[in-house]
A and B are shown apart, each in its own frame.
Chain A
Amino acid sequence: MSTPNKSFLLVSRSGPYGSAQAREALDIALAGAAFNQTIDILFMDDGVLQLLPDQDPTGINQKNLAKTLPMLKLYDVANIYAEQHSLAVRGLLGETLVLDCKVIDSGAAGRLIAAADMVLGG
Chain B
Amino acid sequence: MNYTIAIYGAPCSSQAPDTAYNFVQALLARGHGVYRLFFYMDGVQNASTLATPPQDEVNIPQRWAELIREHQLDAVVCVAAALRRGLLDEGEASRHEKPASNVTEPFTISGLGQLVEAGIESDRLITFGP
Interface residues of chain A, those whose CB is within 8 Å of chain B, are 1-2, 4, 6, 8, 19-21, 24, 27-28, 31-32, 34-35, 37, 118-121
A28 close to B113 (CB less than 8 A): no
A35 close to B116 (CB less than 8 A): yes
A118-B125 CB under 8 A given contacts A24-B81, A28-B115: yes
Interface residues of chain B, those whose CB is within 8 Å of chain A, are 6, 8, 40-41, 80-81, 84, 111-113, 115-117, 119-121, 125, 127, 129-130
The 8 closest A-B pairs by CB, nearest first: A121-B127, A31-B112, A118-B119, A35-B116, A2-B120, A32-B116, A118-B125, A24-B41
A8-B6 CB under 8 A given contacts A27-B80, A120-B125: no
B112 close to A27 (CB less than 8 A): yes
Kindly state the separation between the CA atoms of A24 and B112 in the bound complex, as whole angstroms: 10
Tell me the number of A-to-B contacts counted with CB atoms below 8 Å: 53
Show 22 residue pairs from A and B whose CB-CB distance is below 8 angstroms, ordered by the A residue: A1-B117, A2-B117, A6-B119, A6-B120, A21-B130, A24-B41, A24-B81, A31-B112, A31-B115, A31-B116, A32-B119, A35-B117, A37-B116, A37-B120, A118-B119, A119-B125, A119-B127, A120-B125, A120-B127, A121-B6, A121-B8, A121-B127
Q: Distance in Å from the Cβ of A97 to the closest Cβ of chain B?
A: 25
Q: Distance in Å from the Cβ of B101 to the closest Cβ of chain A?
A: 22
A28-B112 CB under 8 A given contacts A35-B117, A35-B120: yes
Kindly state the separation between the CA atoms of A6 and B115 in the bound complex, as whole angstroms: 13
A residues near B117, Cβ cutoff 8 Å? 1-2, 35
B41 close to A21 (CB less than 8 A): yes
Kindly state the separation between the CA atoms of A114 and B81 in the bound complex, as whole angstroms: 29
Residue of A nearest to B117 (CB): A2
| B113 partner, pick from A35, A118, A119, A120, beta carbons under 8 A | A35
Residue of B nearest to A31 (CB): B112
B41 close to A120 (CB less than 8 A): no
B residues near A119, Cβ cutoff 8 Å? 125, 127
